[in-house]
Structure 1
């Protein structure tokens, strides 16, 4: 399985992390081949096989992995021993300070986000599409880390994974107005009569407002690079999911 790693997080020995691509799994068309989502119509045994491949490659126990039933919300869950691989919580962000519990966020155009505080040894994952970004899911997750674990803005490291960019994410006028009302005009682009949105611009403006300096953007557009990544838009809605995964050693 082919993965993409973070330069920023690679300097820390106590954390492992990766973003997946669609390459190197066992799923068949239209989920070919490294689909990690159970809810998209893929053969569940193939999905489990893909999870096993990824766990072996990155270095964690698949049975300890916590993923989410993502709903484009601002719900954040603190992971404890009651949550298991087979009972994913309904939310769009996870945080924990427990070692050897991998956290996973899945996506197919939305931005998968990894968070790490090397001082307090806390990790998190966030699923941020347009709705989540406008609902400040990333900001709220950062605040949850601060309130729960006494993290600070200067210590939190944030990685924005592969996602659809403003070159490809066409939106309607109602969404554009919603962005303008919230002050994110810079995230919008007009080409002829078409409107486009760059969700990462919203997320980066939010990080700037919080004065967070430790961040990295994996600058890969899932739609432009559809041969490498699953894309809900480019694949006409029927497709698999890539993932971001992070774990404290």
Structure 2
């Protein structure tokens, strides 16, 4: 259910998958998206399960109303109850605040500077990548003391360039804004490699410690994919600074 990634000592980070939840089809099973038509009680139960598996508190997890833009919000525990609003990236300097990003083909991007005590998360699909949501996130983290040379980044599962087919004009437009994002699908048609574009954006911003999850959402049944399934759930990326938001490991369900 949970795949952890290393973003430095004192930082927790992970990507969820599809198995392990309570949602019924077509959202089965660990749907964490609250705006896709699933039963609210099922989403709440799934979010509680994910928090327990991570060893964090669900009531200190901050969710966004993602709108495919490039706005960034700085959040604290106070935003956990109401969410971060209509943004596509969030930053925190508060230990124990868990940042969450929902996806089902777009790229979830997690960042942290453990020395400065700054963490960030971004929802970077085609529009957001072209708008520069990840560079905007890095810039906002710098305002709070992060040094790009120390920042570690993890780009999660997303639609791969071999599957993500788009019209030629769209590919050319995005590739002009985001070098390295243009691709050709396995069918020989125009495509986009969003993760390659994001990696280039991070490098241009001075972030070179980047890991990329190679899984394609469209090709991986254990991940949600809107392009593959249409009506479906959402998996999530989580990042947090270790602190009071974490449960004692002995209390974490195995």
Normalising by the residue count of structure 1, what TM-score does the alignment of the two structures yield?
A: 0.92
1:158 equivalent to 2:153? Answer yes
Query: Which residue matches 1:75?
Result: 71
Q: Give the superposed CA RMSD.
A: 1.6
Q: Which position in structure 1 is the counterpart of 2:107? A: 111
Partner of 2:219: 224
Pick closer, same or farther for the CA change 1:17–1:181 going to 2, 3 Å.
closer
Equivalent in the alignment of 2:247: none
Q: Is the 8 A contact 1:93 1:125 kept in 2?
A: yes
Query: Greater CA deviation, 200-209 or 156-165?
Result: 200-209
Give unmatched runs, 5+ long, in structure 2: 243-254
Match of 1:199 in 2: 194
Verify the 8 A CA contact 1:67 1:85 in the aligned structure 2.
no
Task: Work out whether 1:53 is the aligned partner of 2:49.
Answer: yes
Deviates more, 1:201-210 or 1:14-23: 201-210
Assess if the C-alpha contact under 8 Å between 2:92 and 2:118 holds in 1: yes
| Corresponding residue for residue 239 of structure 2 | 246
Q: Output one character per residue of 1:151-202: Cα deviation in whole Å (capped at 9) or x when no partner.
A: 1110111100111111110101221220243363663216666211110111
Q: Secondary structure at the match of 1:170?
A: coil
Runs (5+) with no aligned partner, structure 1: none
Alignment of 1:3 with 2:2, yes or no, is yes
1:111-190 equivalences in 2 (<5 Å)? 111-147=107-143, 149-182=144-177, 184=179, 187-189=182-184
Q: How many residues align?
A: 242
Distance verdict in 2 for CA 1:17–1:183, change over 3 Å: closer
- Range with greater deviation from structure 2 (60-69 or 202-211): 202-211
TM-score (norm 2): 0.90
